[in-house]
Amino acid sequence: MPTIKKTNQIQFLIYAASMASMIFIPVLAAREFGATNFEIGLITAGYGLAVFLSSYIFGRASDIYGRRIFIKLGLILAAIFFFTQIFAGSVLSLIMFRFFAGLAYGISPAALTAYLYESKGKLGKFSSYGSLGWAFGSVITIVLAIDFFHLTLSFYNLIFISSAFMFLIAFFISLKLPKSNQLKLTIPFFPTKLIKENFSLYFSYFLRHTGANAVWTIFPLYLMQLGANELWIGIIYLVNSVTQFFIMRYIDRFSHTALITAGLFVSIFVFIGFGLA
């Protein structure tokens, strides 16, 4: 279906753009601006908080006012604010630009996922395109790290410009999305009943992503301490994303409960393994 194809393309592009921009933020902060570990944590936390607030507010708004407007709005604002990261010249300005980038980025994913569901698309396959986007974002950093095009701009600015360009392409694709079969919903601002009914799922998901984000925040710096350069960091992230892509294409076939349990169990051993590496 053309509609499903377009949503998958947008999913691919926004994940590629966010991954390419995210990988080397800790390295940029530490190497170029002399950021401390605490300041690197602030940069990452500020971005994450902005994404959460934006996703919460605009995800709810898309339930009430429609999906497409927020998909388009989020993509064009992300193109603008991810580009503005090239103007970061200090730890403080990087915190600010990443926060606004997070606000812009958080507008569209929830609306896009709901739009895909209402269009009868497969969520597992849709999610796999996000992982494929992460892989492509890693490839972009690899290409830029080896200076394939011999460009004069800095490595970090090239990444930010590439991210903005991918968001812009996604925006143009979103202009052709047809209306979905959406039922307008009346959603409380804080859905207490929904949270209580699904608390075990939400809380386990929250804990898993808290741990994962803590690892990914320092992971590039950790790899550099082990002797990896920008090229090898990109390759390592690529391997992770490609593996996710192939796994996610088939998860719709299995029990969701079993997959959640298995994923959490494997994550425990993976994160322990990082500490022992």
The domain spanning residue 126 has which CATH number? Answer: 1.20.1250.20
Residue 215 in this model has a pLDDT that exceeds 90: no
Q: For residue 41, what pLDDT band results from cuts at 50, 70 and 90?
A: very high
- pLDDT for residue 185: 65
- When mean pLDDT is compared across 1-15, 33-47, 239-253, the lowest value belongs to 239-253
The C-alpha atoms of residue 94 and residue 91 are separated, in whole angstroms, by 5
Please state the rounded mean pLDDT for residues 129-142: 90
> What is the span of the domain harbouring residue 115?
2-276
- Two tokens at 242? 């490609």
Q: For residue 258, what pLDDT band results from cuts at 50, 70 and 90?
A: confident
Please state the rounded mean pLDDT for residues 110-121: 88
Residue 138 in this model has a pLDDT that exceeds 60: yes
Residue 151 in this model has a pLDDT that exceeds 80: no
Q: What is the dihedral of CA 154, 156, 158, 163, to 10 degrees?
A: -170
Please state the rounded mean pLDDT for residues 199-221: 83
- When mean pLDDT is compared across 102-116, 122-136, 139-153, 241-255, the lowest value belongs to 241-255
Please state the rounded mean pLDDT for residues 57-79: 93
Mean pLDDT, the chain, rounded, equals 88
The answer to whether 60 and 191 have CB atoms below 8 angstroms apart is no
Number of structural domains (the chain) is 1
Q: For residue 24, what pLDDT band results from cuts at 50, 70 and 90?
A: very high
- pLDDT for residue 86: 96
Distance, C-alpha 10 to centroid of its chain: 12
Name the phi and psi angles at 146, rounded to 5.
-90, 5
Nearby residues of 128 by Cβ (< 8 Å), 6 or more positions away = 244, 245, 246, 247, 248, 249
Please state the rounded mean pLDDT for residues 34-52: 94
255 or 42, which is more confident: 42
Please state the rounded mean pLDDT for residues 127-131: 87
Burial category of 269 from C-beta neighbours within 10 Å (exposed 0-12, middle 13-18, buried 19 and up): exposed
- pLDDT for residue 153: 82
- pLDDT for residue 1: 57
Q: Which long-range contacts (CB under 8 A, 24 or more apart) does 238-241 make?
A: 238/135, 238/138, 238/139, 238/142, 240/134, 241/19, 241/131, 241/132, 241/134, 241/135, 241/137, 241/138
222 or 95, which is more confident: 95
* Full-model pTM: 0.86
- Distances in Å between the Cα of 32 and the Cα atoms of 27, 92, 101, 107 are 8, 13, 20, 30
The C-alpha atoms of residue 66 and residue 178 are separated, in whole angstroms, by 12
Task: Report helix, strand or coil for 115.
Answer: helix
Q: Tell me the angle at which helices 2-23 and 68-83 cross, rounded to the nearest 10 degrees.
A: 30
